[in-house]
Amino acid sequence: MPVREKSSGGWLESLKTILYAGLIAIGIRTIAFEPFNIPSGSMIPTLLVGDYLFVSKYSYGYSRASLPFSPNLFSGRIFGSLPARGDVAVFKLPRDGTTDYIKRIVGLPGDRIQVRQGVLHVNGQRVERVPQGNYTVEGDGPRITVRLYRETLPASPGAQPRAHPIIEQSDDGPYDNTQEFVVPANHVFAMGDNRDNSLDSRATNFVGFIPVDNLVGRAEFIFFSWDGSANWWEVWAWPLAVRWSRLLNGVR
């Protein structure tokens, strides 16, 4: 009899431990950090296909989009704040409210955004774009060589100008010459760093302006990166498929 009581108590304690661990994990995921992986090359060279990163949920406050499964519990944002120009942010796609997208915020409410001959303009001013040589794109279709630039966005209120890399195949692609977009109140404008291979706010019929309430959080750092060169069963090849140099890199 004592043996049975001990066994029953052991199972109960194990279940409690699992429950507590699950609740803690859900709490951390909801209010602190959530993991995401990168499935496409729209943010190359900043983010590569196979990168896994943590997104801070508290950076812009909390909305339905911040919560798991986006439940309809409240509207607006709690402890809300705007992103800075240059932030790499995860958001819910406006057209369906469920698909997670990640892009760089380049326009804030009231900003005028336009691309002319491949060069971004913010509020009528040309954004500095300095050539950095060539860049070889691998792992997202055919291997190609493109031009690498360092782009410096205008400073957001209370912040410093932000520099980051972008790549361009040409300056006459479908989104290299756009109309001037005026960002509405309570919205932001986002673009991918792989400027010729990104469906972003320039695609008005697909992404367009992003409601602030759709922001999930800001990308903070890469905790794992996998180049896809090894199959799941090729255990011996796993170490060579990890991009060790990218681990724990901050997202800038």
**What pLDDT, on the 0 to 100 scale, is given for residue 10?**
75
Which of 57, 63, 66, 103 is catalytic? The answer is 103
| Domain containing residue 166: CATH number | 2.10.109.10
Q: In sequence order, which residues have a C-beta less than 8 Å from that of residue 80 and are 6 or more positions away?
A: 60, 61, 62, 63, 212
Q: Flag whether 238 is in a domain.
A: no
Q: Flag whether 224 is in a domain.
A: no
Distance (Å, whole) CA 33 – CA 56: 5
**What pLDDT, on the 0 to 100 scale, is given for residue 1?**
44
| Sign, Cα dihedral of 142, 194, 198, 91 | positive
Q: Flag whether 119 is in a domain.
A: yes
Check if the beta carbon of residue 70 is closer than 8 Å to that of residue 188: no
Active site residue 8: no
Q: Which domain holds residue 124?
A: 32-218
Category of 70 on φ-ψ map: left (φ > 0), alpha (ψ -120 to 50) or beta: left
| Sign, Cα dihedral of 153, 87, 122, 160 | negative
Q: Flag whether 17 is in a domain.
A: no
Task: Give 44's strand partners.
Answer: none
**What pLDDT, on the 0 to 100 scale, is given for residue 20?**
64
pLDDT tens-place string over residues 91-139: 999 999 899 999 999 999 999 999 999 999 999 999 999 999 999 998 6
Question: Which residue bears the tokens 């681990």?
Answer: 247
Tell me the average pLDDT across 21-49: 82
Active site residue 42: yes
**What pLDDT, on the 0 to 100 scale, is given for residue 74?**
66
Domain tally, the chain: 1
Question: Measured between alpha carbons, how far is residue 149 from residues 70, 156, 246 in Å?
Answer: 37, 21, 20
Which of 42, 63, 198, 201 is catalytic? The answer is 42
Has residue 162 got a pLDDT over 70? yes
pTM over 0.85: yes
**What pLDDT, on the 0 to 100 scale, is given for residue 220?**
97
pLDDT tens-place string over residues 59-83: 999 888 777 666 676 677 887 799 9
Has residue 227 got a pLDDT over 80? yes
Nearest to 30, CA basis, from 62, 7, 4: 62
Q: Flag whether 155 is in a domain.
A: yes
Q: From edge to edge, which strands make up the β-sheet containing 125-126? A: 125-126, 119-122, 112-116, 181-182
Where does the pLDDT of residue 7 fall: very low under 50, low under 70, confident under 90, or very high at 90 and above? Answer: low
Q: Flag whether 226 is in a domain.
A: no
Question: Measured between alpha carbons, how far is residue 192 from residues 9, 111, 210, 218 in Å?
Answer: 54, 18, 14, 15
Q: Flag whether 1 is in a domain.
A: no
Q: In sequence order, which residues have a C-beta less than 8 Å from that of residue 65 and are 6 or more positions away?
A: 91, 92, 97, 213, 214, 215, 216
**What's the burial of 5, exposed, middle or buried (CB within 10 Å: 0-12/13-18/19+)?**
exposed
Give kind and range of the element (H or E) at residue 130.
Answer: strand 128-137
Count of alpha carbons within 13 angstroms of residue 178, beta-carbon side = 24
Q: Flag whether 66 is in a domain.
A: yes
